Chain A
Amino acid sequence: MVDILERPSASAPAPVKVGAREAWYTICPTFVASNVAQEFGWIEEELRRIGASLSYLRSLPVEQGYLPHFSHRFAHLFRDGGNIPSIWAKADNVDTTLIGLTETQHGGTIVVRADDAARRVAALKGRRFGLSRSANPAKIDWWRATSEQGILKALALAGLSRADVEIVDIANDDRGFGEASRPSELWAKRRGDLVFTPEARALQAGEVDAIFASHGRALGLERTGGFKQVEDFSRHPDWALQVSNSPYALTVNTDFARANRDIVVAFLRATARAARWLDGNREAGAAILHRVTYHPRVADTAAAIAGTDFLPALTPRKLAGIDLQKRFLVEHGYISRDFDSRDWADASYLDEALESLTS
């Protein structure tokens, strides 16, 4: 079990002072080029070239570093990873600019116990689907949103709807964690918890009959021999099925970006360099990404990223993916305010970064 690092509020740390040329970053355990750029030190290198510095949000005391990872309520912050917190941040928290998107080809799975007679989602009619519910009201319950969307997609593919199954809430304490020097240190501590989530344990205990699991989580579960997949969205040709807390969103505070265009371009230069390196070194890249994500083995990571386009370009289909994700969040009450994703996105930073790399 992971260390719970929240302290009593009496010992709250001093406020963080962010200097004019200081940038902070936080990255989810996802297959994005910025994770590799960070591991290689390229982001820091690019920022230093222009007299800026880089710090890791989650190196801060957990009271200061945990919630901003989701809300983006932190000055000068770059965030890359799951788009649900990013959309929530933009809708209900703080003005950010979307500067990159990365698609995944693995929208997730539906997992049941290995000894269950069900061999397809249609056979789960009338059964219990576990759905995580966070006890932490201060942040969007992005994990519940991802799972709920996955369950509804799977039911639709099986010709079923929500009314055909029983949704069982599974409590998730959702306590903060952090205080790691960099992402690889943070996720090294959390690897097991990212697979054996509360709803996975409820499934194992027979309290529910099926759960949604991301691709990497499903692999970790089935390797125990106790679970099997009855649906894997990546087996379907429909790109919209792969929209699952993705396309991963790279965002930055709008006021910071406007005042420090060169820092945003520098961050994207490092990311674009990493994307190109990944394109030419998939197997080696898998070993790097494996340190900051949670697929069971490097080979699983390599297989998962075989078709990934790592350049975080703001293409029409990726933006359409954001719109699908956002529509789900609005319709299911996860966010209170809608916004235009085309206004959120600004491709000029990436364009400038790519241009500077060719000149």
Chain B
Amino acid sequence: MTIAVDRSIEANATPVLRELIYTICPVLVASNVALELGWIHDELGRVGAKPTYLRSALSDVAWPAHYNHDSGRLLRDGGNSPAIWSKADLRPTVLLGLTQAQPAGKVLVRTDSDIHRVADLKGRRFGLYKSQRNEKIDHRRATGEHGILAVLALHGLDRRDVEIVDIEDADAHTEAPADTPAGIWAQRRATRQDELTLEARALDAGTIDAIYDYSIGVDIRLTQTGRFRVIEDLDRYPDWTLRIANAPRTLTVSTEFAKANRDIVVAWLRASIRAGRWINAHPEAAADIFYRTTIYADRDAIARALRDFDLVPNLSAQNLAGLRLETDFLRAHGYIAGDVDVNEWADSSYLEEAVTSLRRG
């Protein structure tokens, strides 16, 4: 056995670690698992770089960058609507990969209500999340609105057939800094474990008649109380575009950083691809990790959901078409002003280089 010797030590060179700021949404993307397994740090370390979490004490970039991507060295993986907003209206980024791993969404009503099908919602009140912040895109509202309009259309109704009631949230982001995303979500989980969601509280109180839920496991927690039931689940339909909203998830990076640090971007993608393959092969094990790195309420529901998804990031024609659909939705409903050419936004060369280098070992 031979031991590799780093010649830079002999040369007494001063190592300069290049820093990448990263942020990941609490959703099913391979980056979350790659990070938890240490593979992000390993791969970046191999090229002399280190990852710093946006919401850690070490970061000098403020948290709103998670939404507006306001940094010249930020990589972001997660929900697509902030990424689309940033690209359309704010700054140049490169789209590196897409992951379609998100339930299409469900409609819940109160158990004792006379509503048995979506058609019965005509003239009734549909709750829709609304953030009280105005410095970020209201991605949660956009996702809910997209789903509500889809489910109404599926049943021959449109927005005018129901009353949309805003469910307002302070959207505080008050968590203390943490070294990794799991540290942020642990704080949120600790305070919300036994509570109904914001929208469910309004439904329970009777101020609205239905909610649209696109989480994983919230429907289980709510129906287990006996007070709510699911009357529609968009995943029961064969139309894949019903699953398009804040997913496909987008892996994006500041353009100037990608151009100057191609090796770091490829290193991240190597870690994510490895993790994606590992998740696909071990959904039960991955569910334990995702339970820490997401805000999803039910570990077993995560494991079940993972069996239906491919967690290896890609830039497939179908996912790019899905991203196009969401961009059109966000423009048509005033969430973004500019447009995005998704094919121009995507640069598959990073992903291809990562896949090729992994093949070589």
Contacts and interface: CB of A to CB of B under 8 A. Distances in A.
Interface of A: 153, 156-157, 159, 235-240, 315-321, 323-324
10 interchain residue pairs of minimum CB distance: A320-B226, A317-B226, A237-B230, A316-B226, A237-B233, A156-B116, A238-B229, A240-B229, A317-B224, A316-B225
B57 interface: no
Contacts of B233: 237
B225 A240 contact: no
Contacts of A320: 111, 225-227
A317 B236 CA distance: 23
Given A157-B117, A237-B236, A315 B230 contact: no
Interface on chain B toward A: helix, strand, loop, or mixed SS? mixed
A324 B116 CA distance: 14
B226 A319 contact: yes
B280 interface: no
For chain B, give the interface size range.
10 to 19
Interface in B107-136: 111, 116-117, 119-120
A131 to B, nearest CB: 20
B220 to A, nearest CB: 10
Greatest chain A CB density within 10 A among B120, B223, B225 is at B223
B116 A317 contact: no
Contacts of B352: none
A240 B232 CA distance: 13
Given A239-B230, A317-B223, A317-B224, A159 B117 contact: yes
A153 B117 CA distance: 11
Contacts of A315: 224, 226
Nearest to A240: B229
Nearest to A235: B236
A315 B227 CA distance: 12
Interface in B184-242: 223-227, 229-233, 236
Greatest chain B CB density within 10 A among A239, A315, A323, A324 is at A239
B224 A316 contact: yes
Contacts of A236: 231
A60 B292 CA distance: 57
Contact of A237 (B106, B224, B225, B226): B106
B18 to A, nearest CB: 49
Nearest to A327: B112
B111 A324 contact: yes
A240 B110 CA distance: 11
Nearest to B227: A320
A321 B226 contact: yes
A316 B229 CA distance: 13
A240 B222 CA distance: 13
A159 B119 contact: yes
Contacts of A319: 226
A237 B111 contact: no
Given A237-B230, A239-B230, 19 more contacts: A153-B116, A159-B120, A236-B231, A237-B106, A238-B116, A238-B229, A240-B111, A315-B224, A316-B224, A316-B226, A316-B227, A317-B224, A317-B226, A319-B226, A320-B111, A320-B225, A320-B226, A320-B227, A321-B226
